[in-house]
């Protein structure tokens, strides 16, 4: 019956299924004919496993929290949790690589809840994307209360692992093909996260250079401040075989656990209480350590804010001979809070940094806090929780660019797009969600993808094919990939005034074969361009182009637009006119691309 309803609803049903359905309805009350043996062999195990195939790199780990895993409060030690996370992620990476892997870096980790004795920690890890010799592993951590059946998320993390081949050889990883919608989204955005990691240090340096006033020492009562030197901790650990993998390299999770231990001691010396670890900032392992190494771990409180403190930790390694210089293994920055009886953060005493290096660490801690808040605000939260127009400045430019591109890539990877209209070569699709209605218009154009990418990413030329654009002024060239424009549209608002926009345009070339060229647009706020009385300030939440090369001279060009809630009333009352308008505009876009392609050919011939 369901199949017949699908047929009546013009849903395409495979001929074999339709035939099976009709034959079953035409039969009499006699029992159905038994299948022949060869028929059973055609689909072995089809009924036994109807669910989609599991990701081959996925690793699941469940650990019961015992008293030996906990601290004095009966809560799971964060160091122990880090060891489990690193182990699960490493196993996932090695499943894909087929060879030993080592931890290269870990992105920001925010711990939302604590875990008690008797509860179960569930960790799921799988490879999101493989690059040349490194890969990103996504990790989800939750806990389960066996008595109540309650499940709760603890944290979500991204780790980078590097494959290790025989000495003197380099491992080239095979590409990963995502299957589900979630996997396709993570695979697409992994390239953006990788780009953000590479510029992380530059972001801090840029903030310290451009905004020295924001990180100056605060005026304080010296009698109430705790000297930072009093919080200093140094400890040594001997790396034994249980601390290392089968290649005799120390587990990254073990190093993180030792670092968390000395950081907790340093934080306790400031507040004279038992602190709780809330976050670990993105960090990189600079080199390996092996069995037999001595690891020297140093920690000190860099800065204390109203309700939190940052502790800097450093790990160095040396062998049996003290004369050999120490090797820098890793540095990390951990954020602690002290909770009162109601579970709320307590106020903390101030820190008096030492002159010179101490003051440098103090200022850098203030800058990292701002960057950390920007990153968590823009990157970590869901798209529906981010305001349409976010203030842009130097400290969050990297994360706004990331959010801009990742929002578009997420929209591209969505399933359930429905074909709304097809006119000659132009196809228009719609996607209905809870708060958004999205559009996708695509067509094939006889132009090289790189050339189309160059033409469509310059908003100053959009008025040549889009009649809704009056002008686009270049406000700021942020870098080679990001530009801010002030756009004036001739579309009248309900106030009968033209609209204007401040738009961040982010460009990305393909990271690997099969990736599209991406041009993403989103609204931002600039102090130099406030809303004016002559215009109605408009906002765009997510829009842009994706361009896939089909051949050397042909490209598939797709435009995406996610309509904001205020736009939906107009859409629902003018669907037919809107689709016609979109198709006409896209046809004009094709003519623009072809014309400029021919102009380029003529100029090259003249040269």
Any idea what the CATH number is for the domain that residue 468 is in? 3.30.530.20
- Do residues 458 and 576 touch, judged by C-beta distance below 8 A? no
Give the pLDDT confidence score for residue 24 in this predicted structure. 35
Tokens of 414: 């969505």
Domain match, 163 and 306 both: no
Mean pLDDT of the chain: 82
- Do residues 452 and 465 touch, judged by C-beta distance below 8 A? no
Domain match, 403 and 376 both: no
Q: What's the pLDDT tens digit per position in 310-351? A: 999 999 999 887 667 889 999 999 999 998 888 889 999 999
Judged on CB neighbours under 10 Å (0-12, 13-18, 19+), 541 is buried
Q: What value, to the nearest 5°, has the Cα angle with vertex 345 and ends 78 and 367?
A: 80
Pairing of strands 536-537, 120-130: unpaired
Count of domains observed in the chain: 3
pLDDT confidence bin for 288, thresholds 50/70/90:
confident
Domain match, 534 and 395 both: yes
Q: What value, to the nearest 5°, has the Cα angle with vertex 481 and ends 478 and 484?
A: 45
Question: Which of 193, 213, 242 is where one domain is finished?
Answer: 193
Q: What's the pLDDT tens digit per position in 230-265? A: 999 999 999 999 999 877 889 999 999 999 999 999
Domain membership flag for residue 461? yes
Any idea what the CATH number is for the domain that residue 66 is in? 3.10.129.10
Q: Please, what sign has the CA dihedral across residues 251, 252, 256, 259?
A: positive
The domain of 269 spans 225-383
Phi, psi of 349 (to 5 degrees): -70, 160
Domain match, 432 and 323 both: no
Domain membership flag for residue 396? yes
Domain membership flag for residue 469? yes
Domain match, 367 and 396 both: no
Domain membership flag for residue 30? no
Rounded Cα distance, 80 and 400, in Å: 34
Domain match, 269 and 350 both: yes
Is residue 415 scored above 70 in pLDDT? yes
The angle that helices 181-198 and 200-210 make with each other, rounded to 10 degrees, is 50
Share of the chain above pLDDT 90, in %: 50
Domain membership flag for residue 88? yes
Domain membership flag for residue 211? no
Domain membership flag for residue 16? no
Domain match, 489 and 541 both: yes
Is residue 213 scored above 80 in pLDDT? no
Question: Which of 170, 193, 216 is where one domain is finished?
Answer: 193
> What's the rounded mean pLDDT across residues 72-97?
93
Rounded Cα distance, 471 and 77, in Å: 58
Domain membership flag for residue 368? yes
Which residue reads 């299957």 in tokens? Answer: 179
Q: Which of 162-166, 232-236, 292-296, 304-308 has the lowest mean pLDDT?
A: 162-166
Q: Please, what sign has the CA dihedral across residues 444, 445, 447, 450?
A: negative
Domain match, 375 and 428 both: no
Question: Which of 338, 365, 383 is where one domain is finished?
Answer: 383
Give the pLDDT confidence score for residue 14 in this predicted structure. 39
Domain match, 343 and 433 both: no
Domain match, 379 and 390 both: no
Q: What's the pLDDT tens digit per position in 462-503? A: 999 988 888 999 999 998 999 999 999 887 666 678 889 999
Domain match, 436 and 553 both: yes
Tokens of 432: 């209905």
Domain match, 588 and 440 both: yes
- Do residues 377 and 510 touch, judged by C-beta distance below 8 A? no
Rounded Cα distance, 584 and 73, in Å: 66
Is residue 33 scored above 60 in pLDDT? no
């Amino acid at each position: 019956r369901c199949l017949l309803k699908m047929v009546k609803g013009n849903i395409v049903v495979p001929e074999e299924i339709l035939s099976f359905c009709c034959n079953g309805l035409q039969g009499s009350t006699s029992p159905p004919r038994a299948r022949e043996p060869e028929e059973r062999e055609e689909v072995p195990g089809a009924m036994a496993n109807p669910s989609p195939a599991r990701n081959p790199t996925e690793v699941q780990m469940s650990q019961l929290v015992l008293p030996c895993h906990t601290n004095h409060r009966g809560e799971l030690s964060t160091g122990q949790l880090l060891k489990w996370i690193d182990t699960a992620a490493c196993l996932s990476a090695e499943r894909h690589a087929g060879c030993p892997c080592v931890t290269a870096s870990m992105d920001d980790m925010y711990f939302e809840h604590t875990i008690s004795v008797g509860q179960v920690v569930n960790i799921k890890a799988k490879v999101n994307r493989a690059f040349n010799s490194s890969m990103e592993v996504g990790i989800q951590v939750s806990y389960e209360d066996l008595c109540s059946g309650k499940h709760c998320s603890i944290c979500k993390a991204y780790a980078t692992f590097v494959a290790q081949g025989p000495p003197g050889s380099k491992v080239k990883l095979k590409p990963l093909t995502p299957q589900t919608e979630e996997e396709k989204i993570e695979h697409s955005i992994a390239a953006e996260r990788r780009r953000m990691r590479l510029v992380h240090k530059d972001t801090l340096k840029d903030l310290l250079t451009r905004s020295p006033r924001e990180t100056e020492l605060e005026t304080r009562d010296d009698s109430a401040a705790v000297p930072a030197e009093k919080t200093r901790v140094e400890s040594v650990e001997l790396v034994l075989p249980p601390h290392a993998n089968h290649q005799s390299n120390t587990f990254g999770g073990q190093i993180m656990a030792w670092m968390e231990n000395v950081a907790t001691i340093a934080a306790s010396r400031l507040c004279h209480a038992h602190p709780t670890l809330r976050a670990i900032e993105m960090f990189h392992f600079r080199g390996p350590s092996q069995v037999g190494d001595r690891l020297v771990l140093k920690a000190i409180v860099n800065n204390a804010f109203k309700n939190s403190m940052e502790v800097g930790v450093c790990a160095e390694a040396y062998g049996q001979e003290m004369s050999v210089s120490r090797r820098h293994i890793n540095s990390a920055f951990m954020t602690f809070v002290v909770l009162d009886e109601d579970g709320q953060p307590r106020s903390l005493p101030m820190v008096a940094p030492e002159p010179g290096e101490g003051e440098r660490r103090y200022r850098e801690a203030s800058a990292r806090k701002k960057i950390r808040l920007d990153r968590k605000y823009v990157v970590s939260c869901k798209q529906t929780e981010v305001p349409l127009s976010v203030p842009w400045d130097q400290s969050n430019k990297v994360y706004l660019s990331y959010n801009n591109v990742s929002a578009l890539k997420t929209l591209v990877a969505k399933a359930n797009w429905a074909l709304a209209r097809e006119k000659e070569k132009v196809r228009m699709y719609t996607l209905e969600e809870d708060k958004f209605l999205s559009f996708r218009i695509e067509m094939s154009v006889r132009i090289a993808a790189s050339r189309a990418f160059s033409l469509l990413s310059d908003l100053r030329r959009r008025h040549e094919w889009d009649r809704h654009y009056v002008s686009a002024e270049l406000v700021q060239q942020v870098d080679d990939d990001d530009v801010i424009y002030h756009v004036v549209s001739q579309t009248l608002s309900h106030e009968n005034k033209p609209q204007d926009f401040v738009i961040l345009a982010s460009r990305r070339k393909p990271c690997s074969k099969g990736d599209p060229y991406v041009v993403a647009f989103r609204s931002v706020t600039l102090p130099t361009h406030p809303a004016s009385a002559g215009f109605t300030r408009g906002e765009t939440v997510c829009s842009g182009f994706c361009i896939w090369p089909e051949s050397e001279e042909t490209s598939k060009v797709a435009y995406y637009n996610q309509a904001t809630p205020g736009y939906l009333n107009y859409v629902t009352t003018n669907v037919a006119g809107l689709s016609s308008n979109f198709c006409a505009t896209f046809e004009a876009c094709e003519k623009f691309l072809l014309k400029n392609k021919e102009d380029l050919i003529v100029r090259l011939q003249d040269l």
